Structure 1
Amino acid sequence: MRVGKIVAAVFGAGMLIAATPVAANAANAAGTATGGFSYRYIDAAGSAQQGLLMDPPSQECVTLPQVADPDTSAPADSPLNFTDAAAIVFTGPGCRGDSFRLQPFTGHGSERLKLRSVLFV
Protein backbone atom coordinates (compact mmCIF):
# COMPACT_ATOMS: atom_id res chain seq x y z
CA MET A 1 0.00 0.00 0.00
CA ARG A 2 2.79 2.45 0.89
CA VAL A 3 4.65 1.71 -2.35
CA GLY A 4 1.55 2.68 -4.32
CA LYS A 5 1.29 6.02 -2.53
CA ILE A 6 4.99 6.72 -3.07
CA VAL A 7 4.72 5.91 -6.77
CA ALA A 8 1.65 8.13 -7.07
CA ALA A 9 3.41 11.01 -5.28
CA VAL A 10 6.52 10.71 -7.46
CA PHE A 11 4.39 10.51 -10.60
CA GLY A 12 2.38 13.60 -9.54
CA ALA A 13 5.53 15.59 -8.80
CA GLY A 14 7.00 14.56 -12.14
CA MET A 15 3.88 15.72 -13.95
CA LEU A 16 4.05 19.11 -12.25
CA ILE A 17 7.68 19.53 -13.22
CA ALA A 18 7.01 18.44 -16.79
CA ALA A 19 4.11 20.90 -17.09
CA THR A 20 6.19 23.95 -16.11
CA PRO A 21 8.02 24.43 -19.44
CA VAL A 22 4.73 23.94 -21.27
CA ALA A 23 3.21 26.82 -19.29
CA ALA A 24 6.15 29.07 -20.22
CA ASN A 25 5.84 28.12 -23.88
CA ALA A 26 2.11 28.75 -23.73
CA ALA A 27 2.83 32.32 -22.60
CA ASN A 28 5.10 32.78 -25.62
CA ALA A 29 2.44 31.33 -27.90
CA ALA A 30 -0.03 33.81 -26.40
CA GLY A 31 2.09 36.67 -27.75
CA THR A 32 4.42 37.90 -25.01
CA ALA A 33 7.83 37.12 -23.66
CA THR A 34 7.60 37.37 -19.88
CA GLY A 35 10.29 39.40 -18.16
CA GLY A 36 12.58 42.29 -18.99
CA PHE A 37 15.03 43.15 -21.76
CA SER A 38 17.40 46.05 -21.16
CA TYR A 39 19.94 47.89 -23.30
CA ARG A 40 22.17 50.97 -23.14
CA TYR A 41 21.88 53.89 -25.55
CA ILE A 42 23.23 57.42 -25.88
CA ASP A 43 20.57 60.15 -25.77
CA ALA A 44 20.53 63.38 -27.80
CA ALA A 45 22.53 65.16 -25.08
CA GLY A 46 25.28 62.55 -25.28
CA SER A 47 24.46 60.87 -21.95
CA ALA A 48 24.28 57.10 -21.50
CA GLN A 49 20.75 55.91 -20.69
CA GLN A 50 19.19 52.53 -19.94
CA GLY A 51 16.26 51.32 -22.04
CA LEU A 52 13.88 48.63 -20.86
CA LEU A 53 11.24 46.48 -22.54
CA MET A 54 8.95 44.72 -20.05
CA ASP A 55 6.96 41.70 -21.25
CA PRO A 56 7.69 42.48 -24.91
CA PRO A 57 5.64 40.93 -27.72
CA SER A 58 6.96 37.65 -29.10
CA GLN A 59 7.21 36.71 -32.77
CA GLU A 60 7.05 40.43 -33.60
CA CYS A 61 9.95 42.72 -34.46
CA VAL A 62 10.51 45.51 -31.92
CA THR A 63 12.55 48.47 -33.17
CA LEU A 64 14.08 50.27 -30.19
CA PRO A 65 12.55 53.77 -30.32
CA GLN A 66 15.59 55.64 -28.99
CA VAL A 67 17.86 54.30 -31.74
CA ALA A 68 15.42 53.69 -34.60
CA ASP A 69 16.94 56.21 -37.02
CA PRO A 70 20.51 55.36 -38.11
CA ASP A 71 20.92 58.91 -39.47
CA THR A 72 20.31 60.60 -36.09
CA SER A 73 21.40 58.11 -33.42
CA ALA A 74 24.11 55.62 -32.57
CA PRO A 75 22.95 52.04 -32.07
CA ALA A 76 22.20 50.67 -28.60
CA ASP A 77 24.54 48.17 -26.96
CA SER A 78 25.01 45.98 -23.86
CA PRO A 79 21.72 44.04 -24.11
CA LEU A 80 20.54 41.89 -21.20
CA ASN A 81 17.78 39.33 -21.81
CA PHE A 82 15.87 38.42 -18.65
CA THR A 83 12.78 37.21 -20.53
CA ASP A 84 11.63 33.61 -20.85
CA ALA A 85 12.20 33.74 -24.62
CA ALA A 86 15.34 33.83 -26.73
CA ALA A 87 16.03 37.33 -28.08
CA ILE A 88 17.52 37.82 -31.53
CA VAL A 89 19.06 41.29 -31.75
CA PHE A 90 19.66 43.01 -35.09
CA THR A 91 22.05 45.77 -36.12
CA GLY A 92 19.37 47.55 -38.15
CA PRO A 93 15.82 48.75 -37.50
CA GLY A 94 12.98 46.47 -38.59
CA CYS A 95 14.97 43.33 -37.68
CA ARG A 96 17.35 43.77 -40.60
CA GLY A 97 21.11 43.46 -40.73
CA ASP A 98 23.44 41.21 -38.80
CA SER A 99 21.90 39.30 -35.90
CA PHE A 100 22.93 37.64 -32.66
CA ARG A 101 20.88 35.31 -30.45
CA LEU A 102 20.66 35.89 -26.67
CA GLN A 103 19.49 32.96 -24.55
CA PRO A 104 16.43 33.26 -22.26
CA PHE A 105 16.94 34.48 -18.67
CA THR A 106 20.72 34.98 -18.88
CA GLY A 107 21.61 36.16 -22.38
CA HIS A 108 23.78 39.27 -22.53
CA GLY A 109 26.14 41.20 -24.75
CA SER A 110 28.90 43.72 -24.19
CA GLU A 111 29.19 47.29 -25.44
CA ARG A 112 30.59 45.80 -28.66
CA LEU A 113 27.23 44.18 -29.51
CA LYS A 114 25.30 46.89 -31.37
CA LEU A 115 21.54 46.70 -31.91
CA ARG A 116 18.57 48.69 -33.17
CA SER A 117 15.85 46.04 -33.06
CA VAL A 118 15.00 42.72 -31.41
CA LEU A 119 12.78 39.69 -32.03
CA PHE A 120 11.67 37.41 -29.18
CA VAL A 121 11.20 33.76 -30.19
Structure 2
Amino acid sequence: MRLRNAAIAAASAVTLVLAVPGSATASFGEFRYTYRDAGDQRSGRLVGPPSGVCVNLPEASDEEPAYAPGNRTVSTATAFLDFDCAGERSHVLRPGAGAPERLAVRSVIFS
Protein backbone atom coordinates (compact mmCIF):
# COMPACT_ATOMS: atom_id res chain seq x y z
CA MET A 1 0.00 0.00 0.00
CA ARG A 2 2.80 2.42 0.89
CA LEU A 3 4.62 1.63 -2.33
CA ARG A 4 1.51 2.40 -4.37
CA ASN A 5 1.00 5.75 -2.57
CA ALA A 6 4.65 6.64 -3.11
CA ALA A 7 4.36 5.79 -6.82
CA ILE A 8 1.22 7.91 -7.18
CA ALA A 9 2.89 10.83 -5.39
CA ALA A 10 5.99 10.57 -7.60
CA ALA A 11 3.91 10.41 -10.78
CA SER A 12 1.88 13.42 -9.65
CA ALA A 13 5.04 15.41 -8.94
CA VAL A 14 6.46 14.64 -12.39
CA THR A 15 3.17 15.63 -14.05
CA LEU A 16 3.11 18.90 -12.13
CA VAL A 17 6.68 19.78 -13.10
CA LEU A 18 5.99 19.06 -16.76
CA ALA A 19 2.75 21.05 -16.73
CA VAL A 20 4.34 24.28 -15.46
CA PRO A 21 5.54 26.37 -18.42
CA GLY A 22 9.14 27.53 -18.53
CA SER A 23 9.80 31.08 -17.50
CA ALA A 24 10.18 33.60 -20.30
CA THR A 25 13.40 35.51 -20.45
CA ALA A 26 13.22 39.26 -20.32
CA SER A 27 15.71 42.00 -20.80
CA PHE A 28 15.78 43.97 -17.56
CA GLY A 29 15.55 47.73 -17.90
CA GLU A 30 13.92 50.07 -20.40
CA PHE A 31 14.16 50.73 -24.10
CA ARG A 32 13.27 54.38 -24.70
CA TYR A 33 12.33 56.20 -27.88
CA THR A 34 10.62 59.33 -29.13
CA TYR A 35 7.58 59.49 -31.39
CA ARG A 36 5.11 62.02 -32.74
CA ASP A 37 1.45 62.06 -31.73
CA ALA A 38 -0.79 64.62 -33.45
CA GLY A 39 2.32 66.63 -34.24
CA ASP A 40 3.55 66.64 -30.63
CA GLN A 41 6.78 64.97 -29.58
CA ARG A 42 6.28 62.26 -26.94
CA SER A 43 8.40 59.68 -25.14
CA GLY A 44 7.75 55.96 -25.30
CA ARG A 45 9.34 53.02 -23.54
CA LEU A 46 9.37 49.26 -23.37
CA VAL A 47 9.88 48.03 -19.81
CA GLY A 48 11.48 44.60 -19.41
CA PRO A 49 11.06 43.66 -23.07
CA PRO A 50 11.29 39.96 -23.97
CA SER A 51 14.58 38.60 -25.25
CA GLY A 52 14.74 36.94 -28.65
CA VAL A 53 11.32 38.22 -29.71
CA CYS A 54 10.74 41.00 -32.22
CA VAL A 55 8.77 43.87 -30.68
CA ASN A 56 6.96 46.39 -32.89
CA LEU A 57 6.93 49.81 -31.26
CA PRO A 58 3.23 50.48 -30.62
CA GLU A 59 3.34 54.21 -31.41
CA ALA A 60 5.25 53.81 -34.69
CA SER A 61 3.25 53.81 -37.91
CA ASP A 62 3.87 53.39 -41.63
CA GLU A 63 3.81 57.17 -42.01
CA GLU A 64 5.72 58.10 -38.86
CA PRO A 65 8.44 55.91 -37.31
CA ALA A 66 9.74 56.33 -33.78
CA TYR A 67 13.21 57.84 -33.48
CA ALA A 68 16.12 58.57 -31.12
CA PRO A 69 16.16 55.16 -29.40
CA GLY A 70 18.01 54.61 -26.15
CA ASN A 71 18.81 51.17 -24.80
CA ARG A 72 18.71 51.20 -21.00
CA THR A 73 18.43 47.40 -20.76
CA VAL A 74 21.09 44.82 -19.90
CA SER A 75 20.81 43.29 -23.40
CA THR A 76 21.96 44.32 -26.85
CA ALA A 77 19.10 45.81 -28.88
CA THR A 78 18.95 45.63 -32.65
CA ALA A 79 16.63 48.30 -34.01
CA PHE A 80 14.96 48.01 -37.42
CA LEU A 81 13.39 50.63 -39.67
CA ASP A 82 10.70 48.15 -40.78
CA PHE A 83 8.02 46.42 -38.69
CA ASP A 84 8.51 42.78 -37.63
CA CYS A 85 12.31 43.22 -37.60
CA ALA A 86 12.27 42.92 -41.38
CA GLY A 87 14.61 44.47 -43.88
CA GLU A 88 18.11 45.52 -43.18
CA ARG A 89 19.14 46.03 -39.61
CA SER A 90 18.95 49.67 -38.66
CA HIS A 91 21.29 49.96 -35.71
CA VAL A 92 22.79 47.85 -32.92
CA LEU A 93 22.60 49.45 -29.48
CA ARG A 94 24.72 48.01 -26.70
CA PRO A 95 23.39 48.11 -23.14
CA GLY A 96 23.25 51.73 -21.97
CA ALA A 97 23.78 53.16 -25.46
CA GLY A 98 21.74 55.72 -27.32
CA ALA A 99 21.43 56.56 -31.00
CA PRO A 100 21.25 59.83 -32.91
CA GLU A 101 17.89 61.59 -32.91
CA ARG A 102 17.52 61.08 -36.65
CA LEU A 103 17.67 57.27 -36.36
CA ALA A 104 14.19 55.96 -37.29
CA VAL A 105 12.93 52.72 -35.75
CA ARG A 106 9.71 50.66 -35.97
CA SER A 107 10.75 47.39 -34.34
CA VAL A 108 13.48 46.01 -32.08
CA ILE A 109 14.81 42.67 -30.89
CA PHE A 110 16.87 42.06 -27.75
CA SER A 111 19.58 39.42 -27.38
Instruction: Name the TM-score class by shorter chain.
Output: 0.7 to 0.9
Q: How many angstroms does 1:30 deviate by?
A: 4.5
Provide, for residues 88-111 of structure 1, a one-character-per-residue CA deviation record: whole Å limited to 9, x for no partner.
00000000123211001x211112
Provide, for residues 62-116 of structure 1, a one-character-per-residue CA deviation record: whole Å limited to 9, x for no partner.
000111x31xx31111101010000000000000123211001x21111221100
Query: Unaligned stretches of 5+ in structure 1?
Result: 1-28
Secondary structure of 2:88 counterpart: strand
Q: Figure out how many residues of one structure are paired with residues of the other and give that number.
A: 88
Asked if 1:103 corresponds to 2:97, the answer is: no
1:92 corresponds in structure 2 to 82
Asked if 1:41 corresponds to 2:35, the answer is: yes
Q: Which of 51, 56, 71 pairs up with 1:58? A: 51
Normalised to the residue count of structure 1, the TM-score between the two structures is 0.69
Q: Which of 68, 71, 80 pairs up with 1:78? A: 68
Q: Give the partner amino acid of 1:35.
A: G
Query: Equivalent residues in 2 for 1:12-51 (5 A)?
Result: 30-43=24-37, 45-51=38-44
Provide, for residues 24-70 of structure 1, a one-character-per-residue CA deviation record: whole Å limited to 9, x for no partner.
xxxxx951000011000011x11000001010001000000111x31
Cα pair 2:24 2:50 within 8 Å, conserved: no
CA–CA separation in structure 1 for the residues paired with 2:33 and 2:74:
17
Normalised to the residue count of structure 2, the TM-score between the two structures is 0.75
CA–CA separation in structure 1 for the residues paired with 2:86 and 2:42:
24
Moved over 2 A (4+): none
Root-mean-square deviation over aligned CA pairs: 1.3
- Give aligned-pair identity as a percent: 40
CA–CA separation in structure 2 for the residues paired with 1:49 and 1:98:
26
